[in-house]
Amino acid sequence: MTPYDFLARRTSITLEDRDRGLGILNEVADMMAQELSWSPETKQQMIDTYRTSIQGQIDAEFAVVK
C-alpha cells in the first residue's frame, strides 16, 4: 500500500479535491509510515513518488488544453 494507492485508487480524492490530495499527503504518509513501519527514507520516497505522479497528471491535462 502506498499513498498513491490509497489516495488515487481507494478514494476519489484525486478527482474531487482541487489539490488532488497534496494538502493531506504528508499526514497520510505519516500515518502509513507508522502503520507499515517505513523508514524515514521510504516515507520520503513515497511522498516524492506521489507528488511526481500527480504533477505528471496535471501537466498532461494542461498539455491537452493548450
Give me the residue spans of the domains in the chain: 3-65
One-character DSSP codes across 14-29:
HHHSTTTTTTTHHHHH
pLDDT number for residue 57: 87
**Which residues, including other chains, have CB under 8 Å from residue 49's CB and lie 6 or more apart?**
2, 3, 4
Q: What pTM was estimated for this model as a whole?
A: 0.86
Please report the pLDDT score of residue 25 as a whole number: 97
Helix or strand (DSSP H, E) at 32: helix 25-36
* 12-47 confidence digits (pLDDT tens): 898 898 899 999 999 999 999 999 999 999 999 999
**61: confidence class by pLDDT, cuts 50, 70, 90:** confident
